[in-house]
């Protein structure tokens, strides 16, 4: 094996290099100039993101343990943009609260480690690599959720997350051992050929699936979501709902459409039921939320339900629509979390009631929020509409009209609570609206990226065509 | 650039210009210029259409087709026939009148005009689309600004009304989405490729089972916007809370999307489904016609009266469309146009009365004819048009509808027709009741003796709407010709 083959792991190597550089910087840079690490980390990661879009070969390493193709490569690029935007949005919060406590570098190291885990998870070619990646992506997040040590809720979020995540991982690993027991191999390629629907296999699959369902927060594995989002720092809630969920949905799709395809007759009706449950429960619980983070938590549960509509088709159309939807969802949700972050950093306010009259004092921020919510609600001409319509098209192409009907009922329910936020911002004048404030450059940049994404991703059709071409790998 | 795309591009440019305006003065001037340009293009389109129609007998003229999402065969496909040309003309007139009526909008004027023009661009886009997906996109673009327009600038119970209206209409469009997907996935029934193009789907024989399933979904998706009983409840609340220009645009134009969509999509593409289901929807629309009329009779709020009158009159549009013959269809389109102008005029007048007296309760008003004669006289004229007096557009439309309806000779149709016709009498009662209480008699309130005279922009707005009402009433043939010709493909396709 040539050394140049390792370049297939370019994303991973460069991210690892950044992590190591940051550790060195933490040691080398004196305490009174620690805030420069923030800019350094952003610069490094920005370069990493930009370089990441250079084309990469389609191949595998370590006898199939690690693989990469254009689809995976593209999705890593999307994750990079997401994390970069998120860091831009969190920069001010970090500078204000964390750097003074000398914990700025830790934040980056932990987050990049988690992202590294996600790279390995979606690039996995066998169950072992998959599991290691999943663990690496989960554990640092628990530390991040508990990052605001002075806040009780933050610690609570951390402990809740680690306990539930550990259980989910354990169950998942148990499932993997059963799949190994029946197939005699953990390589996806081998499992694909030997997989037959025995009882033990099905049980193994179900347990394995539960682990991923936890990460995507499908009902009934969603209970941790709202509490953790509420307690964790906003950047981390955003990370969990956007990056973590996106990556997990992506790998779940890859696994279902390739390795676990023989079990389709089991997972198709299962996803049907889960989709209905997730959409309804997510939406109905979102209706009465007052806290913006909890609100977005339930909204993101409901969005996961929509993703299942595309997942259950098992076709190239399904692949394309899921990846397209997740990409759009990442931008939309980041925009929403970005605004919440901006307001919370400046004023510490996080409740919907505090947003009343926001348009009259901070029109730009309100407009970004409106675009984000319209995109989440699926209203044209912003991207969310296209994402959702195409998901429904994928489901309808397999004849699931009833499911599509239930989904559109949910779209209408969700519109109600998205409009509640818009009502607070635009319609109500509020007794004490948040006064005008100027955002820092990083935050503005972070919001600008999301707005561009929301506006362009839908109307610019070649992107969808590109994703569709990529989807051919799986089918 | 082709003439139709201008209808979407001009509003976008106007919106961009509006973003840079500073105050009400600039905003309204920009909007007025935009409205005038739009009206100019619409009139130009009308004449261009006549010229083109003389030499070209394609179903849709000025067509343009750009591939958008290749995988789904989604195109930006546009084209017009006589029906859409007439409705575009209606839209441009009502929008311009709406701008004049909002001349004194104080609160957030820039945002108000932007939202108004976003709504208008959605309507234009809807009328020029011949691709179902593009159509749906424009449909939702037209509906969603209503939330802000009513929520921010409305009055009364505006938060409730805005939410109710938006949820019902967006819910309907969500149902419509299922219907459209159903049509799309059956558009290859004859072995062709899946398509969203209306003209191509019309050539396909969609299996009967699919038509039976998807017709009600598609129909309901549009009919809620057309205030079909019992899904009309958003309309009175919405209109009562909305600011004047928004009521005008909404009742005058937006609700016409419902009838147009039913005709162009539900009935044209799913004719067998239409035959199968027509009895059910005829019952609903006939109920709506009579129910709306009686409800208007009992209201005392001017806007509620007019909103229920709209339910009744738009019920007639759906009713006529389901009568499935040429005369009735012609009447339905004429009724759409005529009602668009009349109801916009009514809402404009109500806005003016309310702006002066600060009440819309007719029991508190009286003798207005003596104090604001111009507005009152126009109100009487509009009332006469609404109750279908010959010489106005309403008469032409209703005449055609009921002539057509009586051509159906089964008992069921006869009863439905008679029920609907009787609404005309009730219409006369509620119109004259308002005229009697509000305009005649002694002036009830001393303060009303010093009401402001009509301003030039109000008069302009009124004139813009009144001219077509009388125009259609006196010379109905040219517009009838415009429509009749375009009914031909429907007659071949549906009957």
pLDDT of residue A394: 92
What contacts 24+ positions apart, CB below 8 Å, involve A32-36?
A34/A99, A34/A102, A34/A104, A34/A105, A35/A95, A35/A99, A35/A104
Contact assessment for residue A425 and residue A358, using Cβ atoms and an 8 Å cutoff: yes
What is the C-alpha radius of gyration for chain A, rounded to an integer number of angstroms? 21
pLDDT of residue A475: 67
Chain B residues in contact with A461 by the CB 8 A cut-off are 68-70, 74
- Omega within 30 of 0 (cis) for the link into A220: yes
Cα dihedral B214, B218, B220, B221, rounded to 10, equals: 140
pLDDT band at B1 (very low <50, low <70, confident <90, very high): low
Length of chain B: 495
Q: How much is the mean pLDDT over chain B?
A: 88
CB contact under 8 A, A392 and B177: yes
CB contact under 8 A, A374 and B144: yes
**Residues β-bridged to residue B65:** B77
Nearest CB among A317, A385, A423 relative to B151 is that of A423
* DSSP helix/strand/coil, A461: coil
Chain A positions contacting chain B at CB under 8 Å are 317, 320, 374, 379-381, 385, 389-390, 392-393, 396-397, 401, 404-405, 408-409, 411-412, 415-416, 419, 422-423, 426-427, 461, 464-465, 468
A456: left (phi over 0), alpha (psi -120 to 50) or beta: alpha
**Residues β-bridged to residue B74:** B69
How many other β-carbons are positioned within 10 Å of the β-carbon of residue B104?
12
- β-bridge pairing A66-68 and A59-61: antiparallel
pLDDT band at A390 (very low <50, low <70, confident <90, very high): very high
Residue A349, phi then psi, degrees to nearest 5 = -95, 135
Q: Please tell me which of A333-337, B235-239, B324-328, B472-476 the model is most confident about, judged by mean pLDDT.
A: A333-337
pLDDT of residue A193: 85
Contacts of residue A453, Cβ cutoff 8 Å, sequence gap at least 6 = A81, A328, A330, A331, A332, A335, A383
Chain B residues in contact with A415 by the CB 8 A cut-off are 166-167, 170
Interface of B with A in 115-134 (CB under 8 A): 133
Question: What is the average pLDDT across B330-354?
Answer: 90
pLDDT tens digits for range B79-129: 888 899 999 999 999 999 988 888 888 888 888 999 999 999 999 999 999
Least Cα distance to B288 among B228, B224, B222 occurs for B228
How many other β-carbons are positioned within 10 Å of the β-carbon of residue B41?
19
CB contact under 8 A, B137 and A385: yes
Nearest CB among B140, B158, B184 relative to A379 is that of B140
pLDDT band at A335 (very low <50, low <70, confident <90, very high): very high
Cα(A165)–Cα(A167) distance, rounded to whole angstroms? 5
Cα(A406)–Cα(B390) distance, rounded to whole angstroms? 49
| Among A369, A427, A429, the residue to mutate for chain B (most B Cβ within 10 A) | A427
Q: Does residue A17 surpass a pLDDT of 90?
A: yes
pLDDT of residue A337: 94
* DSSP helix/strand/coil, A184: coil
pLDDT of residue A1: 61
The percent of residues above 90 in pLDDT, for chain A, comes to 55
Contact assessment for residue A305 and residue A278, using Cβ atoms and an 8 Å cutoff: yes
Helix or strand holding residue B368 (H, E)? helix B368-371
pLDDT of residue A237: 93
Helix or strand holding residue B122 (H, E)? helix B109-128
Contact assessment for residue B343 and residue B306, using Cβ atoms and an 8 Å cutoff: yes
pLDDT tens digits for range A46-58: 999 998 888 888 8
Cα–Cα distances (Å) from B171 to A376, A377, B175, B290, in that order, read 16, 12, 6, 26
Cα(B440)–Cα(B434) distance, rounded to whole angstroms? 9
pLDDT tens digits for range A225-235: 989 999 899 99
How many other β-carbons are positioned within 10 Å of the β-carbon of residue B142?
26
What contacts 24+ positions apart, CB below 8 Å, involve B105-110?
B105/B24, B105/B28, B105/B153, B105/B243, B105/B245, B106/B24, B107/B152, B107/B153, B108/B152, B108/B153, B109/B23, B109/B24, B109/B27, B109/B28, B110/B18, B110/B19, B110/B21, B110/B23, B110/B27
pLDDT tens digits for range A364-389: 999 999 999 999 999 988 999 999 99
Helix or strand holding residue A67 (H, E)? strand A66-68
Q: Answer positive or negative: Cα dihedral of B71, B76, B79, B80.
A: positive
Cα(B332)–Cα(B313) distance, rounded to whole angstroms? 10
The C-alpha angle with vertex A18 and arms to A16 and A23, in degrees rounded to 5, equals: 100
Chain A residues in contact with B133 by the CB 8 A cut-off are 389
H helices of A312-461, in order, are: 316-347, 358-361, 363-377, 383-397, 401-422, 441-459
Q: Is B87 exposed, middle or buried (0-12, 13-18, 19+ CB in 10 A)?
A: buried
**Tell me, what DSSP letter sits at residue A149?**
T
Q: Does residue B451 surpass a pLDDT of 80?
A: no
pLDDT of residue B244: 87
Shortest CA distance from B67: residue in chain A: A461
Chain B residues in contact with A409 by the CB 8 A cut-off are 171, 174
Length of chain A: 475
Least Cα distance to B334 among B386, B401, B254 occurs for B401
Contact assessment for residue B69 and residue A464, using Cβ atoms and an 8 Å cutoff: yes
Residue B156, phi then psi, degrees to nearest 5 = 70, -140
Interface of B with A in 411-450 (CB under 8 A): none
pLDDT tens digits for range A58-117: 888 888 889 888 899 999 999 999 999 999 999 888 888 877 777 888 889 999 999 999
Q: Is A54 exposed, middle or buried (0-12, 13-18, 19+ CB in 10 A)?
A: exposed
Q: Is B46 within 8 Å of chain A by CB? A: no
Considering only the C-alpha atoms of chain B, give the largest distance between any 2 of them, rounded to a whole number of Å. Answer: 75
CA atoms within 13 A on the CB side of B92: 26
Tokens of A234: 């906003």
Cα–Cα distances (Å) from B476 to B382, B391, B469, in that order, read 17, 9, 10
Least Cα distance to A378 among B143, B118, B67 occurs for B143
Cα–Cα distances (Å) from A446 to A2, A459, B411, in that order, read 40, 21, 67
Q: Is A220 exposed, middle or buried (0-12, 13-18, 19+ CB in 10 A)?
A: exposed
Question: What is the average pLDDT across A254-262?
Answer: 88
pLDDT tens digits for range B388-405: 888 888 888 888 888 888
Cα dihedral A109, A113, A114, A118, rounded to 10, equals: 150
- Omega within 30 of 0 (cis) for the link into A381: yes
Helix or strand holding residue A188 (H, E)? helix A188-194
pLDDT band at A417 (very low <50, low <70, confident <90, very high): very high
pLDDT tens digits for range B346-356: 899 998 888 88
* DSSP helix/strand/coil, A291: strand
The position carrying tokens 């179903």 is: B59
Cα(A91)–Cα(B322) distance, rounded to whole angstroms? 61
Nearest CB among B167, B171, B178 relative to A401 is that of B178
Contact assessment for residue A273 and residue A243, using Cβ atoms and an 8 Å cutoff: no
Cα(A384)–Cα(A377) distance, rounded to whole angstroms? 7
pLDDT of residue B121: 92
Shortest CA distance from A379: residue in chain B: B140
Contact assessment for residue A156 and residue A214, using Cβ atoms and an 8 Å cutoff: no
Domain range summary for chain A, segments of one domain joined by +:
3-474
Q: Does residue B35 surpass a pLDDT of 70?
A: yes
Helix or strand holding residue A69 (H, E)? none
Distance from CA of B15 to the nearest CA of A (A): 15
Question: What is the average pLDDT across B290-309?
Answer: 90
Q: How much is the mean pLDDT over chain A?
A: 90
Cα(A416)–Cα(A319) distance, rounded to whole angstroms? 29
pLDDT of residue A183: 87
Cα–Cα distances (Å) from B20 to A177, A438, B16, B180, in that order, read 64, 20, 7, 39
pLDDT band at B358 (very low <50, low <70, confident <90, very high): confident
Helix or strand holding residue B65 (H, E)? strand B61-69
Distance of CA B182 to the CA centre of its chain: 26
CB contact under 8 A, A404 and B178: yes
């Amino acid at each position: 094996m040539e050394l140049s083959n390792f370049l297939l792991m370019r994303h991973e190597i460069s991210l690892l290099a950044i992590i190591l550089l940051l550790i060195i910087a933490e040691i080398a840079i004196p305490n009174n100039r620690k805030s420069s690490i923030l800019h350094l980390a952003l610069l490094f990661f920005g370069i990493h993101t930009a370089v990441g879009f250079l084309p990469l070969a389609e191949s595998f390493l370590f006898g199939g343990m690690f693989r990469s193709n254009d689809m995976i490569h593209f999705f890593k690029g999307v994750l990079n943009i997401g994390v970069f935007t998120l860091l831009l949005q969190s920069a001010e919060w970090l500078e204000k609260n964390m750097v003074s406590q000398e914990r700025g570098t830790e934040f980056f190291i932990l987050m990049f480690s988690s992202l590294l885990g996600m790279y390995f998870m979606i690039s996995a070619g066998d169950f072992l690599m998959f599991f290691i990646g999943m663990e690496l992506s989960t554990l640092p997040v628990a530390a991040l959720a508990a990052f605001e040590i002075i806040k009780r809720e933050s610690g609570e979020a951390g402990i809740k997350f680690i306990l539930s995540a550990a259980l989910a991982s354990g169950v998942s690993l148990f499932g993997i051992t059963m799949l190994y027991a029946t197939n005699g191999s953990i390589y996806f390629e081998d499992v694909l050929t030997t997989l037959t629907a025995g009882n033990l296999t099905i049980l193994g699959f179900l347990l394995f699936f539960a682990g991923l369902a936890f990460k995507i927060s499908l009902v009934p594995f969603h209970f941790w979501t709202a509490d953790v989002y509420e307690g964790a720092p906003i950047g981390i809630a955003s990370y969990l709902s956007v990056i973590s969920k996106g990556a997990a949905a992506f790998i779940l799709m890859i696994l279902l459409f390739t390795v676990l395809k023989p079990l389709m007759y089991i997972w198709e009706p299962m996803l049907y039921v889960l989709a209905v449950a997730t959409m309804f429960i997510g939406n109905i619980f979102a209706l009465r939320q007052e806290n913006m983070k909890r609100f977005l938590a339930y909204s993101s549960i409901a969005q996961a339900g929509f993703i299942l509509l595309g997942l259950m088709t098992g076709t190239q159309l399904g692949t394309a629509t899921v990846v397209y939807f997740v990409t759009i969802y990442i931008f939309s949700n980041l925009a929403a979390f970005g605004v919440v972050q901006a307001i919370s950093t400046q004023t510490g306010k996080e409740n919907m009631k505090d947003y009343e009259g926001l348009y009259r004092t901070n029109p730009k921020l309100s407009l970004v929020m409106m675009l984000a919510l319209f995109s989440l609600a699926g209203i044209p001409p912003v991207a969310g509409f296209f994402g959702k319509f195409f998901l429904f098209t994928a489901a309808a192409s397999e004849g699931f009209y009833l499911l599509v009907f239930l989904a559109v009922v949910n779209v209408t329910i969700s519109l109600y609570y998205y409009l509640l936020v818009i009502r607070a911002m635009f319609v109500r004048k509020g007794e004490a609206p948040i006064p005008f404030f100027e955002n820092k450059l990083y935050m503005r940049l972070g919001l600008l990226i999301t707005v561009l994404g929301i506006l362009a991703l839908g109307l610019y059709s070649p992107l969808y065509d590109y994703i569709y071409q990529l989807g051919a790998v799986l089918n | 650039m082709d003439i139709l795309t201008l209808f979407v591009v001009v509003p976008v440019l106007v919106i961009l210009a509006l973003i840079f305006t500073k105050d009400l003065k600039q905003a309204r001037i920009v909007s007025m210029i935009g409205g005038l340009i739009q009206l100019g293009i619409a009139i130009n389109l009308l004449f261009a259409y006549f010229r083109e129609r003389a030499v070209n007998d394609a179903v849709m003229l000025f067509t343009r087709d750009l591939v958008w999402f290749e995988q789904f065969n989604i195109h930006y496909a546009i084209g017009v026939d006589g029906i859409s040309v007439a409705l575009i003309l209606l839209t441009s007139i009502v929008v311009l009148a709406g701008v004049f009526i909002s001349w004194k909008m104080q609160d957030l004027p820039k945002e108000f005009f932007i939202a108004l023009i976003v709504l208008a661009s959605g309507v234009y886009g809807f009328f020029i689309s011949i691709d179902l997906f593009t159509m749906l996109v424009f449909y939702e673009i037209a509906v969603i600004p209503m939330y802000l327009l009513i929520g921010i600038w409305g009055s009364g119970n505006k938060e409730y009304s805005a939410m109710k209206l938006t949820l019902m209409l967006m819910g309907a469009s969500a149902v419509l989405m299922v219907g459209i997907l159903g049509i799309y996935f059956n558009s290859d029934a004859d072995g062709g490729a899946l398509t969203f193009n209306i003209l191509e789907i019309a050539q396909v024989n969609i299996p009967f089972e699919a038509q039976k399933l998807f017709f009600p979904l598609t129909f309901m998706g549009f009919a809620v916007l057309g205030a079909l009983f019992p899904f009309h409840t958003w309309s009175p609340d919405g209109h009562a809370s909305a600011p004047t220009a928004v009521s005008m645009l909404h009742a005058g134009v937006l609700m016409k999307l419902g009838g147009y969509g039913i005709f162009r999509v539900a009935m044209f593409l799913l004719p067998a489904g239409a035959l199968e289901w027509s009895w059910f929807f005829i019952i609903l629309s006939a109920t709506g016609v009579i129910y709306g009329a009686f409800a208007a009779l009992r209201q005392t709020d001017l806007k509620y009266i007019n909103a229920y009158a709209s339910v009744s009159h738009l019920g007639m549009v759906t009713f006529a469309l389901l009568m499935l013959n040429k005369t009735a269809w012609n009447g339905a389109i004429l009724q759409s146009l005529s009602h668009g102008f009349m109801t916009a005029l009514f809402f404009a007048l109500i806005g003016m009365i309310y702006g002066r007296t600060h009440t819309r309760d007719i029991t508190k008003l009286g003798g207005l004819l003596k104090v604001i004669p111009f507005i009152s006289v126009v109100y009487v004229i509009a009332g006469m048009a609404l109750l279908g007096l010959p010489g106005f557009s309403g008469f032409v439309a209703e005449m055609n509808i009921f002539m057509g309806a009586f051509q159906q000779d089964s008992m069921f149709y006869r009863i439905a027709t008679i029920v609907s016709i009787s609404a005309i009498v009730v219409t006369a009662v509620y119109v004259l009741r308002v005229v009697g209480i509000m305009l005649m008699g002694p002036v009830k309130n001393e303060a009303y003796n010093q009401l402001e005279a009509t301003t030039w922009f109000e008069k302009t707005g009124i004139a813009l709407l009144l001219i077509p009402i009388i125009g259609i009433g006196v010379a109905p043939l040219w517009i009838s010709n415009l429509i009749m010709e375009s009914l031909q493909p429907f007659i071949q396709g549906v009957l």
